[in-house]
Amino acid sequence: MKSGTGRRGPRTARALSRTARHLCVVGAAFGTVLGAGVGFAPAAAADDVHSRQWYLDDMRAEQMWKVSTGKDVKVAVIDTGVNANTSSLKGQVLADEVTGDVAYHATRDYKGHGTTIAEMIAGTGSGGGIQGIAPGAKILPYRILLDSLKDKAERAHTPADYKAVRAAADSDAKIINMSFGSEYSDPELRAAIKYASSKGKLLFAAVGNEAKKNNPVEYPAAYPGVVGVASLGESGEVGEFSQHGDYIDLSAPGLDLPYWCDEGFKSYCTSGAGTSFSSAYASASAALIWSAHPDWTANQVLRVLIETAARDWPKNKPSNYLGYGVVRASQNLLDGKGTPGAANVDPITNEQTSEASSGSDTPPSASASGSSQPSQKASDVPAEAAGSEAKSSDDSNTLWIALGAVAAVIVIGGGGFAVMRARRGQ
């Protein structure tokens, strides 16, 4: 996917220990409490779980599933493991396809985090579980070493993140979801990301939840070849925690959502929030589009996600907070919008990649041509941003974005607003 020339380099030459990478979710069970954190058993509260997935109506999920469910697309979930026995994931996890050292306890989730992400991507919703956005997709589970794994014996055997990325790159997964991060660059993980990109994988990562602290650049989201995804809520507010900067590519729902409370899988908690959820949303949306267009490459799927994202600002001047806009797969699947363009041209850097064309002869769209370069002079918060209004709406829901003192509009189906920023200097 993206080449190194279009992405900022490592923040520091010092690599943080791989055991100190953190999960990009905050909530009652994962750190800062953003809501009541009330737990409820899934089987007894199906309506509660599904009703809290407010984005399903916003994205016109029921209508989209008549066109695509993500069938025949595999998504690698690199996380704390994936419990394949939850009611929502039975039959959805292909653990047998994960072999070798990276297969160690792949289906033994030590936090509940990886299972939540997997359910959000491909859960069936059965038994009151989380309803996945792409219920026809399948999950390849990769359990990696993160700072939330406390057991010393388990830590000794659990593989590092870069090994899982390389294994996923060699698998049949088309999409790799990474809802974890660190503010320090790791050369081995960076190399693994580059390898996965060269294999034609589409990689998504959470951009991090430390905006209210020091708002560091987050890896792997900031690596070349990775799509960094930020968070916003039902009313449209950008998550206060959602990190911002020139590595934000897309944005997606990530506030006030149900999640597994702990590794015991006894109940879901409410009011979970974090860019982990947003990354899962983007991964699942990509699966829906890729399933409907199986001959497309990762470049083409990403280009359509970018072209159809909700925004009311120039596409070549992405926002520090929302990137190219809010993910809305329905614009392609239901309304036929989005031009796939060149199979082997990165839609962000406009540079040629080594990716095979997958048989598509579709020429690049004008908006994705090499002449459309990011602005290097855009200010963070332009004065003219205040009072911006949506110009059109193809979907039914309007999201109000609050960025500090600036209130503005994002419409999932139409226009919107963003804070401009200088983007990935050459």
Active-site positions read: 79, 113, 276
Alpha-carbon gap, residue 321 to 403, rounded angstroms = 8
Q: What share of the chain is helix, strand, coil (3-state, %, to 5)?
A: 25, 20, 60
Please name the residue that has the structure tokens 């009703």.
Answer: 51
CA angle 50/56/61 to nearest 5° reads 120
Q: Given strand 138-143, what is the order of strands in its sheet?
A: 138-143, 74-79, 175-178, 202-206, 226-232, 250-253
Single out the residue of 250, 270, 232, 269 nearest to residue 403, CA to CA.
232
Residue 83 amino acid letter: N
- Residue 151 burial (C-beta neighbours within 10 Å; 0-12, 13-18, 19+): exposed
Give the integer Cα–Cα distance in Å for 294 and 297.
8
Q: What kind and span of H or E run contains 203?
A: strand 202-206
Distance between CA atoms of residues 348 and 223, nearest Å: 13
Alpha-carbon gap, residue 210 to 179, rounded angstroms: 14
Say how many CA atoms lie within 13 Å of 37 toward its Cβ.
11
